Structure formats: C-alpha cells, structure tokens
Amino acid sequence: QVQLVESGGGLVQAGGSLRLSCAASGSTFSRHVMGWFRQAPGKERELVAGLSRSGDSTFYADSVKGRFTISRDNAKNTVYLQMNSLKPEDTAVYYCAARRQNNITRVTNFYDYWGQGTQVTVSS
C-alpha cells in the first residue's frame, strides 16, 4: 500500500512558477511509475507528466512541454513537478499517482494509488 500526499499548490500570476511535491509512504516507492495528473472544472483528468521508476524515462503532455519538469528522489520517497511560465489554462486540481506496472500510461484507471489533490490557480 502506498499513500500519497501532495503539497505546493496555490495562487500565482501568469508567468510565475510553482513546485508541487508528492510524498509517498512505504518502502516500495522506487518500484512505482509516478504521474502528475490535473483536472480542471468540467474536464477529464489528464496526465501532465510521467516518470519511470529510475527516472530515465519521461512523458509530458504537449501543453506543458518545455515549461514543466517532473523529477523524483527515491531516497526521500518524493516526486516533484516544477511548473514554470504558468498560464491561466494550467488552473486545475493536480493529483499525484503511482503505478506498479513499469510503463507510463495516460489511462487513469491503470494507476493504483492517488493523492488527494492540490489546487493550482493561475491568474491573468
């Protein structure tokens, strides 16, 4: 069992930056693929960034490429999402998710554990 707790959300002006953190409990964090999803009101939850177990393989949604960076520290059981050049359309609840299978996928049902979410609001 893995429990995930996100932090770092908040209100920021367009063009600003935020760093989200997701702390995982348990000793198996390094054996999970990690993903950051987001869900805006009235929209489906979408994968923003994904990271392999070792950190050597990543996925980014086209909408965030070049602006967001996902990373992990397996010694600290933590995954991060650095978000730069934020835009109002980045406003959403951001969720951290973990997957036991060793491949990154955009399918939400294929992730085994989820955090409670953290709100990110970008003002224009």
pLDDT for position 26: 79
pLDDT for position 1: 84
Helix, strand, coil percent values for the chain (each to nearest 5): 5, 50, 45
Average pLDDT, the chain: 96
Burial of 42 (0-12, 13-18, 19+ CB in 10 A): exposed
Name, in order, each residue with C-beta under 8 angstroms of 105's C-beta and a sequence gap of 6 or more. Answer: 47, 50, 99, 111
Q: What is the pLDDT of residues 37-49, one digit of tens each?
A: 999 999 999 999 9
**Residue 27: pLDDT band with limits 50, 70, 90:** confident
